[in-house]
Structure 1
Amino acid sequence: MRHASIIESSKRKIQTTTESLRHILVVDDDPMVAMAIEIYLQRNNFRVTIADGGEAGLRAIENEQFDLMIVDIFMPHMRGFESIRLFHDCAPATPLIAMSGYAFADLNSPAPDFLRMALELGAARCLRKPFTPDALLAAIRGCLAEHHAAAMRLG
């Protein structure tokens, strides 16, 4: 059995203060997707921690504070929406972007709207894979802006 791992990238641009970088947790079992997201976010001045599965992602949020989570809906060892519910329950104040590339073999049958269901379980935004880097950045900035505005209203 493969052990899930957490990787915080050290390949960042030099910043005057690391604390000013927004810290994003990316949970995806596809290493190519995770690496592409990581590189793009680093280029846009985010601090990134990669978790290669649901268990590793849950360990990461137990040990660190994140400004945002990006979580794949379908990963091995977690049944679909279990991951969204668990991540939202463990860190309810942290905005979560759910992503899915799930495709159905039978195109004639009506497909459930997984992304809509993710929103009902606590996701702030949803992205359907494949998505563009601009769509990812827009979703992140939207979530962070809404979260900041909500925090300001609460005091």
Structure 2
Amino acid sequence: MTKAQTGASDQHHILVVDDDAMMCMAIEAALQRSNFKVTIASGGEAGRRALERHHFDLMLVDIFMAHMRGFESIRVFLEIAPTVPLIAMSGYVFADLDGSAPDFLRMALELGAARCLRKPFTPDALLATINKCLSERDACRRGPLAAGLR
């Protein structure tokens, strides 16, 4: 059955946590064009409150934000919703890729992010990453259920 056949109730709900209003608007527009329901949180604290009030299928979280930093947000968000895939985003520009600057996106993966996106990214890259995460999540959910039916 296709998504069109199942109706709007099958719409995935994505939480976007970023303190850059323009980035949020661009992400929201791209996701809504692809039939995703989107909730925007302007920072880590707003994201935490949204996670406590609603169910989300996926989270997009900026690493560098004012107040609750992205790494702290990732830790808190995964405590609240450990089964919800989290995609970490960063626009941090490395002055010297061969130098000793930390790789913040790799650090986000080590903290539990499912995937990372380096800003700026295209709408196609965003959607491909989201769809890959949702497919993997759905496959994991089907796996134990199917095994229990044997």
How far has the Cα of 1:86 moved from its partner? 1.1
Q: 1:133 aligns with which of 104, 123, 134?
A: 123
Specify every segment of 5 or more residues in structure 1 that has no aligned partner in the other structure, as ranges.
1-15
How far has the Cα of 1:109 moved from its partner? 4.3
Check the 8 A contact 2:13/2:57 in 1, yes or no: yes
Specify every segment of 5 or more residues in structure 2 that has no aligned partner in the other structure, as ranges.
1-5, 146-150
Other-structure match for 2:133? 143
Check the 8 A contact 2:44/2:70 in 1, yes or no: no
Residue by residue, what CA displacement relative to the aligned partner does 1:46-89 show, whole Å, maximum 9, x if unpaired? 00000000000000000000000000011101234111111111
Moved over 4 A (4+): none
How many residues end up aligned between the 2 structures? 139
Separation in structure 2 between the aligned mates of residue 91 and residue 125 of structure 1, nearest angstrom = 16
Separation in structure 1 between the aligned mates of residue 123 and residue 90 of structure 2, nearest angstrom = 15
Separation in structure 2 between the aligned mates of residue 132 and residue 66 of structure 1, nearest angstrom = 23
Answer with 18-27 or 58-67: which moved more.
18-27
Separation in structure 2 between the aligned mates of residue 98 and residue 113 of structure 1, nearest angstrom = 12
Q: What's the % identity of the aligned pairs?
A: 68
Q: 1:40 aligns with which of 30, 35, 47?
A: 30
Q: 2:114 aligns with which of 124, 127, 151?
A: 124
Q: Whose helix fraction is larger, Structure 1's or Structure 2's?
A: 2
Other-structure match for 2:3? none
- Tell me the secondary structure at the aligned position of residue 52 of structure 2: helix
TM-score (norm 1): 0.85
Answer with 107-116 or 61-70: which moved more.
107-116
How far has the Cα of 1:95 moved from its partner? 0.4
Aligned residue type for 1:24: I
